[in-house]
């Protein structure tokens, strides 16, 4: 017997794929908006300023220059929708010279072993479970990142990432995409600032579909649209951030606070600050560390207006929490996301691991973050 939840997901996948081509979508390549690294996710994705490890290739490529080792490996795994969807990340960053760092990162979001029930019922109305096959719906992304210090401007770092995207719906169809991110970080006294332009040229995904005639017939009989080859564009967005770190109790305790503003320009969205020209989604995160060994994190984001069961307008938020431990060359982080609404299955337990390789004896910088 097949899994009904996965069957529902595949129907949604086809509907979304078909809808992509009716008009320019507001939400495109959304798997790239989830984030990487349990440290950042525990702070509700408020991380573009304080990203100082291999995951900076995703959050803010300029932050790769804060890497404390010659090389660092990062890994992450998370389950969504009660384990139906798998989300995985792997990244490797390395110092190229004293003023530059390079990195490569891989992301996969997928639903595996989805039942294909298009041939379940034959032309005579007979049900044959032997006709059920399985396929995977997967999204892949590769980031190739570079960061460099600008010697002429003290405290200014710049970076960028080229993104290659592959999305695939079994043998039915798929797309190839390409996009660019650009970023800058600046330090002034005790404050740090960052700006990240994501999909700055628009990220293009060229979709192609190869549906057999019998599958098209099933779609027509069930009043489903048959997707056509076309191009999907992910609109640019600008993320601005500011952060400051404090120390207390003889420098044994560190407190980091960060605010990010996610700005989109593709029409009004359901966020805290919205207009037809620009919508602004604020996210806030805090990290408290003790002896640069153990860390407690929290954050809020996804602030929206919603309607409750009796039709009353309410404001909803998404709270996240997390913890981390750093020991020698290892850093293990955990995040529990969307703890405010577990009923719909969008929360997740997320684990990530970072390993420093060829660690330098002399480390620069005074940051106490892992």
Q: What is the mean pLDDT of the chain?
A: 86
- pLDDT at site 278: 96
Backbone dihedral region of 347: left (phi > 0), alpha (psi from -120 to 50 degrees) or beta?
beta
Domain of residue 229, CATH code: 2.40.160.40
DSSP 186-220: EEETTEEEEEEEESTT-EEEEEEE---HHHHHHHH
Does 297 fall in a domain? Answer: yes
d(CA 218, CA 231): 25
For 132-148, the pLDDT digits (tens) are 889 999 999 999 999 99
Alpha helices in 201-331 (DSSP H): 213-221
Q: Is pLDDT of 7 > 50?
A: no
Does 78 fall in a domain? Answer: yes
Q: Is pLDDT of 162 > 90?
A: yes
pTM for this predicted structure: 0.85
Question: Using H for helix, E for strand and C for coil, what is the string for 44-106?
Answer: CCCCCCCCCCCCHHHHCHHHHHHCCCCEEEEEEEEEECCCCEEEEEEEEEEEEECCEEEEEEE
Does 363 fall in a domain? Answer: no
Does 369 fall in a domain? Answer: no
- pLDDT at site 96: 95
Does 120 fall in a domain? Answer: yes
For 298-307, the pLDDT digits (tens) are 999 999 888 8
* Residue in the block written with tokens 């997928």: 110
For 301-357, the pLDDT digits (tens) are 999 888 888 888 888 888 999 999 999 999 999 999 875 554 444 678 899 999 999
Instruction: Name the more confident of 91 and 189.
Output: 91
Does 321 fall in a domain? Answer: yes
Beta carbons of 35 and 41 less than 8 angstroms apart: yes
Name the strand (E) or helix (H) holding 239. strand 237-248
Number of other residues whose CB lies within 10 A of the CB of residue 230: 14
The angle subtended at Cα 110 by Cα 172 and Cα 33, nearest 5°, is: 115
Domain with 269, as residue range(s), is 4-357
Q: Is pLDDT of 93 > 60?
A: yes
DSSP 97-140: ETTEEEEEEEEEEEEEEEEE-TTSB-TTS-B-GGG-EEEEEEEE
Q: What SS3 state is found at 21?
A: coil
Report which of 314, 255, 236, 318 is spatially closest to residue 283, judged by C-alpha positions: 318
Q: How many domains does the chain have?
A: 1
The angle subtended at Cα 104 by Cα 280 and Cα 355, nearest 5°, is: 100
Report which of 51, 39, 44 is spatially closest to residue 301, judged by C-alpha positions: 44
Contacts of residue 175, defined as CB under 8 A and 6 or more positions apart, other chains included, come to 165, 166, 167, 168, 205, 206, 207, 208, 232
For 261-276, the pLDDT digits (tens) are 999 999 999 999 999 9
Going from the C-alpha of 299 to that of each of 141, 166, 258, 290, 339, the distances in angstroms are 26, 31, 9, 18, 11
Structure-token pair, residue 366: 């005074």
d(CA 139, CA 143): 13
Does 368 fall in a domain? Answer: no
- pLDDT at site 26: 73
Does 42 fall in a domain? Answer: yes
- pLDDT at site 339: 54
């Amino acid at each position: 017997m097949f899994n009904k939840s996965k069957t529902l997901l595949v129907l949604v996948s086809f509907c979304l794929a078909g809808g992509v081509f009716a008009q320019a979508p507001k939400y495109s390549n959304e798997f790239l908006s989830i984030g990487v690294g349990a440290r950042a996710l525990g702070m509700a994705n408020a991380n573009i300023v304080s990203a100082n490890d291999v995951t900076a290739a995703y959050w803010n490529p300029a932050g790769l220059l804060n890497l404390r080792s010659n090389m660092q490996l990062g890994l992450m795994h998370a389950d969504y929708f009660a384990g139906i969807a798998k989300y995985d990340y792997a990244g490797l960053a390395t110092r190229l010279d004293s003023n530059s760092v390079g990195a490569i990162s891989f992301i996969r979001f997928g639903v595996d072993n989805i039942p294909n029930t298009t041939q379940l019922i034959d032309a005579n109305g007979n049900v044959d479970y032997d006709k059920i096959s399985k396929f995977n719906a997967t999204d892949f992304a590769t980031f190739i990142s570079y960061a460099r210090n600008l010697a002429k401007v003290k405290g200014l770092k710049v970076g960028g990432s080229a993104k290659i995207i592959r999305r695939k719906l079994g043998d039915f169809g798929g797309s190839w995409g390409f996009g660019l991110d650009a970023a800058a970080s600046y330090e002034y006294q005790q404050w740090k600032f960052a700006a990240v332009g994501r999909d700055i040229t628009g990220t293009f995904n060229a979709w192609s579909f190869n549906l057999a005639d019998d599958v098209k017939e099933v779609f027509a009989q069930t009043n489903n649209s048959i997707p056509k080859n076309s191009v999907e564009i992910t609109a640019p967005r600008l993320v601005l951030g500011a952060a400051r770190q404090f120390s207390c109790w003889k420098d044994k305790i560190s407190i980091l606070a960060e605010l990010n503003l996610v700005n989109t320009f593709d029409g009004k969205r359901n966020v805290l600050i919205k207009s037809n020209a620009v919508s602004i989604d604020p996210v806030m995160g805090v990290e408290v560390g003790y002896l640069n060994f153990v860390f407690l994190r929290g954050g809020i984001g996804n602030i929206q207006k919603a309607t409750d069961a009796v039709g009353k307008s309410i404001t909803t938020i998404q709270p996240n929490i997390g913890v981390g431990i750093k020991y020698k060359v290892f850093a293990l982080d955990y995040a529990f996301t969307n703890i405010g609404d577990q009923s719909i299955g969008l929360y997740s337990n997320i684990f990530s691991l970072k390993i420093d390789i060829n660690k330098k004896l002399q480390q620069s910088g005074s940051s106490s973050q892992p």
